[in-house]
Amino acid sequence: MIFVFCLFINALELVAQSNPSIDAVGDGSQKIISDTAHHQIASLLKMKTKWEFSTNVTLALSRFTGNVSRNLNDDPYLIMVRKIDADQGAAWRLGVNGFRTNSQSNFPDRVSSENWASLVIGREWRTELQQGAFIYGGIDSRGIFRQSHSEATQFNDLGQPIISITDAKEYGGSVGGICGFGWRFQDRIAIYTEALLNAQYTRTDRTFSVNGSITTLENKNNLKIVPMVPIALFLTIKF
């Protein structure tokens, strides 16, 4: 009987000793679960899209509807890249547009070239609406450069060449406000359009020369307010 009682006491002591171990294991499991959840949340934050790529699809839609009169050179940018803030509420924007053309003709011999470039840098702030819609406003600054050169060669009655050259250059910039509206097809794909109101300064220089004799046609500074209504449509992809 005494022997059985001693065994019972020993069993109670073993149970008492095992309880702290179980509690320790439970605390450790909770810590592991908490750390895992924290790591998953951090990973999800890192997975949030931080960049957007946008391109002007207005010309494609115009051709689809049979209207080919749209000129993309009127738009401040043809493509744009945005760096989105971590809270997804604002973004830095960098857009470019430009072209280069060369042409040559005979009778008279003429060679022409034209270069045009536009660089946009700005900041925008966004507000999400319902059903995938969103609006935004911000500030844009823009640099503008345009250059054209035309050279024609003719011959007089004595067979001597007469070379006439026309040069034109326009450069400057603008700063102003933007506001836009868009709609998301899904989290990564959206379309949008925007309106601009800028104060723009440009400098225009034009010259004409015949066999090296230069005549100044224009030296002018231009300062004007340039409004632009929403006439361009852009497609945006997040990555």
The per-residue pLDDT for range 138-163, each reduced to its tens digit, is 999 999 999 999 999 988 888 889 99
Domain count, the chain: 2
* Four-residue CA torsion sign, 18, 23, 29, 35: negative
Residue 24 lies in domain: 1-47
Model confidence pLDDT, tens digit, residues 173-213: 999 999 999 999 988 999 999 999 999 999 999 999 999 99
Q: What is the dihedral of CA 75, 77, 80, 83, to 10 degrees?
A: -100
**Cα separation of 41 and 220, whole Å?**
59
Cis-peptide, bond into residue 108, ω within 30° of zero: yes
**Residues 238, 200: Cα–Cα separation, whole Å:** 31
Residue 108 and residue 168 share a domain: yes
Backbone angles phi, psi at 106, to 5 degrees: -115, 160
Q: Based on the fold, state whether residues 22 and 110 are members of the same structural domain.
A: no
pLDDT in tens, 97-120: 999 999 998 877 899 999 999 999
Determine the Cα–Cα distance for residues 75 and 120; give it in Å rounded to an integer. Answer: 11
> Are residue 39 and residue 156 in the same domain, yes or no?
no
Q: Please determine, for residue 93, whether its predicted confidence score (pLDDT) is greater than 60.
A: yes
| 39 & 59 share domain | no
pTM above 0.85, yes or no: no
Both 53 and 43 in one domain: the answer is no
Co-location of 211 and 109 in the same domain: yes
- Phi and psi based region of residue 172 (left: phi greater than 0; alpha: psi -120 to 50; beta: remaining): left
Residue 67 and residue 130 in one domain: yes
Asked whether residue 1 falls in the same domain as residue 59, the answer is no
**pLDDT confidence of residue 129:** 94
> Using an 8 Å Cβ cutoff, are 116 and 171 in contact?
no
**Are 99 and 213 members of one domain?**
yes
